[in-house]
């Protein structure tokens, strides 16, 4: 075997002085260009306010419109909005803020507050606003923890409701029994090929967040006041068994149900009802052919199927430059104002946090909003303790295994508890 060695530099003597000079000149030019390009954005950054948010579809369009209006009124600043998916939003924000970077403002659900406060990545709003600012909100509109205020919400919600197709479901079910009966009559194999062409109900039953209304309907909950999981009990077992029965006994939900499939089935009118939150209503054309109703009551326990309720709003990065605080204050003030919240309630059916809007006629004029407020009455505040992250992770695996038929409902409840406890312990190492 012949080994060939090739020198990468080649013959040095071939490089003449004129070539060297020209190349050096080129290097200098490139260096100057780099300097110039790195200098210009620094000037701009004083005038730029960035918001990271997780608003989607119709909500995002309106959000951009509102920011545009603010920008027009404040031409000396540029407000930029950057969308990030919810998990990514929180994770990237924490990483960026710990490194002294990140956007000036983050918009998201209140359960992010626990993580953001623990990691010291947001500043208390008391440092930004005077007491008069907080007076415009109902108590749930300002998210407090450890005796400080961290998030100013423009809506209460993030809550799951029952969305139904009025062509197929003239009156929404009031109880779980009615839901099952209605689901059975609406699940159909119209062309006789042995496959269901229409289901009664669907939702993302791979994600434990969507399991919460069933858990609460059977009297269960996920966490106690000390931040310990409360999952290994009869209530969890019965709730899991009920979800399994919906699929395997009553056969009113599809065999597989992730978010995308559930969403697509409802949009294509291949399912009569879906469990989904306010972020989806715009895409479903609510109010209209599709409508919203509170999730049913469990007649067996007498308990409502209560979804988790959380406020969604604005928090300020701990690294926000002091000279930007006045414009940040003005921006959040505008984006949580009664005017903006009323527009959101009218166009998106979001539930406002401003007392002025809650007592205005707009609340009665929109049937979806009325139903949404009824659901909020039958909801439970989403815990903001950071342990919730570990509990969600602990629940997810066993919940998926039980839905696959790999373990029983009893075993799933046991494993949820065990894994959540382990995750909490591990996160302290």
Partner 1 sequence: MPSEKTKVRLFLAALLTPALLVVLAVVAFPFLFNVVLSFSNANIYHIRDWRLIGFDQFVSVFRQELFWSILLKTVIWTLVNIVFHVVIGVFLAVVLHQKFIRGKAWWRVALILPWALPQYITALTWRGMFNYEYGAVNLLITKYLHLPPVEWLTSPFEAFLAVIITNVWLGFPFMMVIALGGLQSIPDDLYEAADVDGASKWFQFWNITAPLLRPVMIPAITLGIVWTFNNINVIWLVTNGGEPADSTHILVSYVYKAAFNMYRFGWAAALSVVIFAILFVFSQMLLKRTRASEAVY
Rule CB under 8 A: which residues touch partner 1? 1-4, 9, 12, 15, 17, 20, 23-24, 27, 87, 91, 94-95, 98, 115, 118-120, 195, 206, 254-256, 258, 260-261, 386, 389-390, 393, 396-398, 400-401, 403-404, 406, 423, 426-429
CA dist 344 → 312, 320, 340, 395 (Å):
13, 27, 6, 34
**Phi/psi at 350 (5° precision):** -80, 155
Residue closer to partner 1 (CB basis): 78 or 406: 406
Run of H or E including 71:
helix 57-73
Residue closer to partner 1 (CB basis): 19 or 82: 19
Residue closer to partner 1 (CB basis): 204 or 375: 204
Residue closer to partner 1 (CB basis): 147 or 268: 268
Give the up-direction half-sphere exposure of residue 232: CA atoms within 13 A in the CB hemisphere.
11
User: Measured from the CB of residue 207, what is the shortest distance to partner 1 in angstroms?
Assistant: 9
Residue closer to partner 1 (CB basis): 198 or 374: 198
Strand partners, 311: 156
User: Measured from the CB of residue 240, what is the shortest distance to partner 1 in angstroms?
Assistant: 14
User: Measured from the CB of residue 400, what is the shortest distance to partner 1 in angstroms?
Assistant: 4
CA dist 105 → 80, 125, 384, 404 (Å):
10, 11, 19, 41
Closest CA to 348 of 362, 359, 360: 362
User: At which residue do the structure tokens 């027009």 appear?
Assistant: 72
Residue closer to partner 1 (CB basis): 365 or 404: 404
- Round to whole Å and give the CA distance between 402 and 58: 35
Residue closer to partner 1 (CB basis): 381 or 397: 397
Residue closer to partner 1 (CB basis): 27 or 82: 27
| Sequence-separated (6 or more) residues with CB below 8 Å from residue 43 | none
Residue closer to partner 1 (CB basis): 132 or 426: 426
User: Measured from the CB of residue 346, what is the shortest distance to partner 1 in angstroms?
Assistant: 35
- Round to whole Å and give the CA distance between 156 and 344: 12
**Phi/psi at 56 (5° precision):** -120, 170
User: Measured from the CB of residue 12, what is the shortest distance to partner 1 in angstroms?
Assistant: 5
Residue 56: CB atoms within 10 A of its CB come to 16
| Sequence-separated (6 or more) residues with CB below 8 Å from residue 5 | none
Residue closer to partner 1 (CB basis): 27 or 73: 27
Q: 380-381 and 308-317: which strand pairing?
A: parallel
User: Measured from the CB of residue 124, what is the shortest distance to partner 1 in angstroms?
Assistant: 16
Q: First and final CA of the chain: distance in angstroms?
A: 55
User: Measured from the CB of residue 412, what is the shortest distance to partner 1 in angstroms?
Assistant: 10
CA dist 340 → 17, 356, 361, 402, 420 (Å):
67, 12, 15, 44, 40
Residue closer to partner 1 (CB basis): 121 or 298: 121
CA dist 193 → 29, 305, 397 (Å):
72, 35, 34
User: Measured from the CB of residue 120, what is the shortest distance to partner 1 in angstroms?
Assistant: 6
User: Measured from the CB of residue 20, what is the shortest distance to partner 1 in angstroms?
Assistant: 6
User: Measured from the CB of residue 406, what is the shortest distance to partner 1 in angstroms?
Assistant: 8
User: Measured from the CB of residue 321, what is the shortest distance to partner 1 in angstroms?
Assistant: 19
- Round to whole Å and give the CA distance between 249 and 227: 35
Residue 280: CB atoms within 10 A of its CB come to 23
Q: Name the 3-class secondary structure at 145.
A: strand
């Amino acid at each position: 075997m012949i080994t060939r060695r090739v020198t990468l530099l080649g013959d040095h003597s071939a490089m003449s002085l004129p070539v060297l000079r020209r190349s050096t000149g080129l290097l200098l030019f490139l260096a100057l260009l780099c300097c110039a390009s790195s200098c210009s954005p620094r000037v701009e950054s004083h005038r730029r306010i960035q918001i990271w948010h997780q608003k989607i579809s119709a909500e995002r369009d309106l959000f951009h419109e509102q920011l545009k209006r603010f920008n027009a009124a404040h031409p000396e600043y540029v407000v930029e909005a950057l969308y990030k998916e919810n998990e990514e939003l929180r994770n990237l924000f924490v990483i960026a803020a710990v490194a002294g970077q990140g956007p000036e403002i983050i918009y998201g659900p209140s359960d992010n507050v626990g993580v953001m406060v623990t990691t010291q990545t947001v500043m208390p709003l008391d440092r930004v606003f005077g007491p008069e600012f907080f007076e415009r909100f109902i108590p749930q509109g300002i998210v407090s923890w450890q005796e400080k205020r961290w998030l100013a919400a423009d809506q209460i919600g993030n809550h799951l409701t029952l969305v139904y197709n009025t062509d197929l479901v003239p009156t929404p079910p009031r109880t779980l029994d009615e839901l099952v009966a209605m689901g059975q009559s609406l699940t159909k194999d119209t062309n006789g090929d042995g496959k269901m062409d229409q289901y009664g109900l669907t939702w993302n039953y791979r994600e434990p967040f969507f399991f919460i209304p069933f858990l609460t309907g059977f009297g269960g909950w996920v966490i106690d006041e000390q931040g310990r999981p409360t999952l290994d009990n009869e209530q969890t077992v019965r709730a899991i068994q009920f979800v399994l029965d919906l699929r395997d006994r009553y056969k009113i939900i599809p065999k597989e149900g992730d978010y995308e499939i559930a969403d697509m089935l409802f949009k294509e009118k291949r399912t009569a009802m879906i469990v989904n939150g306010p972020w989806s209503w715009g895409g479903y054309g609510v109010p209209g052919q599709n409508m919203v109703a509170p999730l049913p009551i469990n007649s067996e326990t007498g308990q409502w199927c209560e979804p988790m309720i959380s406020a969604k709003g604005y928090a300020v990065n701990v690294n926000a430059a002091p000279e930007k605080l006045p414009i940040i204050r003005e921006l959040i003030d505008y984006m949580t104002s009664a005017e903006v919240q009323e527009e959101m309630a009218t166009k998106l059916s979001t539930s406002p946090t401003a007392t002025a809007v809650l007592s205005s006629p707009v609340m009665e004029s929109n049937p979806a909003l009325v139903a949404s407020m009824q659901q909020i009455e039958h909801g439970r505040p989403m815990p903001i303790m950071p342990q919730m992250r570990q509990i969600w992770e602990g629940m997810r695996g066993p919940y998926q295994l039980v839905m696959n038929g790999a373990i029983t409902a009893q075993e799933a409840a046991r494993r949820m508890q065990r894994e959540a406890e382990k995750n909490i312990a591990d996160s302290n190492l």
